[in-house]
Chains A and B, each alone.
Chain A
Amino acid sequence: MSAEQHRVGDQPWVRRSLIGLAVSLTVILLVIPVVVIFTEALSAGWSTFSDNILDEYSLHAIGLTLLVALLTVPLNLVFGTALAWAVTRFRFPGRKLLITLIDIPFAVSPVVAGLLYLLLYGRNGWLGGWLSSHDVQLMFAWPGIVMVTVFVTCPFVARELIPLMQQQGSEEEEAGVVLGASGWRIFSKITLPNIKWALIYGVVLTNARAVGEFGAVSVVSGNVRGQTNTLPLHVELLYQDYNVAGAFAAASLLAAIAILTLIAKAIVEWRQSRIEHPAPKTGGA
């Protein structure tokens, strides 16, 4: 015990002040804002809150947001997995470049991304002209919102998977193929269990961002109430209308979704660790 007291940074006052700092920063930066969202949303009472939520436009915004997430998450799940697989399991010219390109949506401001899509697919855009002559409207409609959300969130899954798959190497998969397993069997029985954690984490991040994306979506949506308004845009519209309680009610929904994803992630991780590390059974060497 006495020897350990001399370890660097292990003196009681260092420990206490570090823990204190961490806890107070967490409370100030994370907990208080979340609590405020809910108290503000409920400040005018439950009935006002439910009126705000059940309002026709709010319901539509909720539906649209869920639709966007529902389309974006599976798309990026498949895309991210395929991409991570390609760059970690095969060698090909341009592989390094591809790994760098994945980060573009992180590097580019979402507003710029939105503008780019508008430029490409908008009525006067390069492809937009041809599209509108075929009666296809992508921008200022829900497909456009999905497109930019997919763009903005596409690195999450791949970024989680690539380092993990690189570090794990392909030996287990090679063992599988030598044993005669088909590609699908190798993926589902060997690769998937190995990357499940990272995959779930990537999905949680993708989902959170897809639900909350504001910048890119606001450029391509056109903000038509009841048509192309997602929840984050709806919050802003309500706030600009001086409907503070309404804005906070909608915001509280976003916060609730965030909290739910965190809880879901914690539960999955807990169950996962119980499956992976069951109590060792007794048995000789």
Chain B
Amino acid sequence: MSITIDRIKKSFGKFQALNDVSLDIPEGKLTALLGPSGSGKTTLLRIIAGLESSDSGRVLFGGDDVSNLHVRDRNIGFVFQHYALFKHLTVAQNIAFGLESLPRRSRPSKQEINERVAKLLEMIQLPQLADRYPAQLSGGQKQRVALARALATKPRILLLDEPFGALDAKVRKDLRRWLRALHDEFHFTSIFVTHDQEEALELSDQVVVMSQGQVEQVNSPTGLYARPESRFVFDFLGHVNVLSGVVKGQSLVQGNARVALPGVVNNQEAQLYLRPHEVQLAKAPVAHARLPLRIEAISLIGSEVRIELAPEGWESNEIWEVGMSHGEFACHNPTRGELWYAIPAVGHLFAGDSAQPETVDWHSTAHASAANM
């Protein structure tokens, strides 16, 4: 069932938590609500669920206005951040709760309920824990029980509020994969809240980036990463290397850093945003860029070597990061304290006050210089 959010506004006292939010959540897809703390993700999710009422605007499920429908009758699954398992009921009773709450005429028989619960316990791989109480479960187990409980009544919509927030990295990864598999099997429409960009990009079909009660951008994970539409999204999604300076003589200049920007208006301030993978390192500057940096740290863990660098003779608010394959690393063997030059291949320029970036491509020249390394 698709979900449409139509000009939702919500304030708590004087504080505007949601400011005119409109969204389309496609049927059968996994959508991530991503944003910093306090950006209104939970509030939006609760309004969709009906746990909170909006000041104005509508929520539609599959085209039907449900704004005035009680939570009880919306037939959605909701997974709370802190699980919210019923602590006085066993795991099996927790899972059965939704089925037993159905009105008498649509309620399955006791035996059918037991069978359904047994099946769900199989699905979450915890059949041996049916008679335990929530207090006797680990965090990951609780989270799986919470999911099974939400799915017991076969809702068409599943809402998850930071479902893996309180778990350690390993368990998170497992549960993420598991949720993805579950989703592919049952095809419910789900929205999950997260402030972990990696989780959002890895798990979802569509990412909604929120900030200060507004939707910043909606796109697929790849689209979002490749084409951020605002500084905010840029900063928020993954690491970004920034050179901010003044455009002079068709170049962005700051200190002794310089990047050629053909065709950009002179004498205005501008920021150049570069993703770690859009930059390579070389021993000497090239015609279109001179960005001296000194190596501060090298991290070998992971599929890529991550190199942290500090500007030399110019300034940047945050440290620069460049990725390099292990093969390349072995070949050039950069070491801490050495001076290297960053060579951008593609960049994103925010010139003047413009909110939208402009993509700059030095690709052909960058190729030539990379060979120099």
A178-B49, A180-B101 are known contacts. Are A190 and B86 too (CB-CB below 8 A)? yes
Rounded to whole Å, the gap between the CB of B221 and the closest CB of chain A is: 28
- Within A244-285, the residues touching B (CB, 8 Å) are 276-278, 280-281, 283-285
> Which secondary structure characterizes the binding site on chain A?
helix
Among B73-81, B263-271, B324-332, the stretch in contact with A: B73-81
Given contacts A174-B80, A180-B101, contact A281 B132 (CB under 8 A): yes
B88 & A276 in contact (Cβ 8 Å cutoff): yes
Q: A268 → chain B, closest Cβ, in Å?
A: 15
Shortest distance from the beta carbon of A187 to any chain B beta carbon, whole Å: 13
The reply to whether A194 and B138 contact each other, CB–CB distance below 8 Å, is: no
Is the Cβ of A171 less than 8 Å from the Cβ of B102?
no
When distances are taken between beta carbons in the complex, the residues of chain A under 8 Å from B85 are 172, 175
Which residue from A178, A179, A190, A283 sits with its C-beta under 8 Å from B132? A283
Whether A283 contacts B128 by the Cβ 8 Å rule is yes
Asked if A17 lies at the interface with its beta carbon under 8 angstroms from chain B, I say: no
Q: How far is the CB of B42 from chain A (nearest CB, A)?
A: 12
Contact A181 B97 (CB under 8 A): yes
Interface 1/0 per residue, A70-86 and B, CB below 8 Å? 00000000000000000
Classify chain B's interface size: 20 to 34
**Smallest CB–CB gap between A156 and chain B, Å?**
23
B149 in contact with A179 (CB, 8 Å): yes
Contact indicator B97/A281 (Cβ below 8 Å): no
Encode B86-124 as 1/0 by CB contact (under 8 A) with A: 111100000001100110000000000000000000000
**Is there a chain A Cβ closer than 8 Å to B256's Cβ?**
no
A181-B101 contact given A189-B86, A276-B88, CB 8 Å threshold: yes
> Is A177 close to B, CB under 8 A?
yes
Q: A179-B153, A180-B72 are in contact. Are A171 and B131 (CB under 8 A)?
A: no
For residue B71, CB closer than 8 A to chain A, the reply is yes
Say yes or no: A180 contacts B128, CB within 8 Å: no
| Interface residue B167 (Cβ < 8 Å from any Cβ of A) | no
| A285 surroundings in chain B (CB, below 8 A) | 138, 141
Give the chain A neighbours of B133 by CB distance below 8 A.
Answer: 276, 278
Decide yes or no whether A185 CB sits under 8 A from chain B. Answer: yes
**CB within 8 Å of B: which A76-122 residues:** none
Decide yes or no whether A143 CB sits under 8 A from chain B.
no
A58 to chain B: closest CB distance in Å?
44
Q: Which of B49, B87, B129, B135 contacts A194 (CB 8 A)?
A: B87
Q: B89 near A178 (CB under 8 angstroms)?
A: no
* B370 in contact (CB, < 8 A): no
Chain B: minimal CB distance from A103 (Å) = 27
Q: What residues of A have a CB within 8 angstroms of the CB of B231 in the complex? A: none
Q: Is the CB of A189 within 8 A of B89?
A: yes
B181 CB-CB contact with A under 8 Å:
no
Smallest CB separation, B188 vs chain A (Å) = 14
A178 in contact with B76 (CB, 8 Å): yes
Residue A176, interface by CB 8 Å = yes
* Interface residue? B82 (CB, 8 A): yes
Contact status A175-B101, CB under 8 Å: no
CA distance A177 to B71 in the complex (A): 7
A278 and B131 CA atoms in complex are apart in Å by 10
**Chain B min CB distance to A108 (Å):** 34
Query: Contact: B97 with A176, CB < 8 Å?
Result: yes
Distance in angstroms between the alpha carbons of A159 and B88 in the assembled complex = 23
Residue of A172, A178, A276 near B51 (CB, 8 A) is A178
A94 to B: closest C-beta gap in Å? 16
Who on chain B is nearest to A183 by CB? B72
* Cα-based distance from A262 to B25 in the complex (angstroms): 58
Q: Are B128 and A172 closer than 8 Å at their CB atoms?
A: no
Contact flags A160-197 to B (C-beta < 8 A → 1, else 0):
00000000000110111111111001000110011000
Closest-by-CB residue of A relative to B152 is A179
Contact status of A172 and B141, CB under 8 A, knowing A276-B133, A280-B136, A281-B131: no
The yes or no answer to B84 lying at the interface (CB within 8 A) is: yes
Mark out the residues of chain B between 244 and 260 whose CB falls within 8 Å of any chain A CB in the assembled complex: none
Chain A residues within 8 Å of B131, by CB? 281
Among the listed A171, A182, A185, which residue makes an inter-chain contact with B80, where contact means beta carbons less than 8 Å apart? A171
A7→B252 CA distance, assembly (Å): 64
CB of B300, distance to nearest CB on chain A (Å) = 32
**In whole angstroms, what is the CA distance A280 to B89 when docked?**
15
Taking a contact as CB atoms closer than 8 A, the residue among B51, B101, B129, B149 that contacts A182 in the complex is: B101
Nearest-neighbour CB distance to chain A for B81, whole angstroms, equals 9
Contact between chains at B138 and A175 (CB < 8 Å) = no
Q: Which residues of A contact B (CB under 8 A)?
A: 171-172, 174-182, 185, 189-190, 193-194, 276-278, 280-281, 283-285
Could you pull out 27 A-B pairs where Cβ atoms are within 8 angstroms?
A172-B86, A172-B87, A174-B84, A175-B84, A177-B51, A178-B74, A178-B76, A179-B149, A179-B150, A179-B153, A180-B73, A180-B98, A180-B101, A180-B102, A181-B72, A181-B101, A182-B72, A193-B88, A194-B88, A277-B135, A281-B131, A281-B132, A283-B128, A283-B129, A284-B128, A285-B138, A285-B141
- Sorted from nearest, which 8 A-B pairs have the closest CB atoms? A193-B88, A179-B98, A283-B128, A171-B84, A181-B101, A175-B84, A178-B78, A180-B101
Given contacts A174-B80, A281-B132, 4 further A-B contacts (CB under 8 A): A175-B84, A178-B51, A178-B74, A194-B88
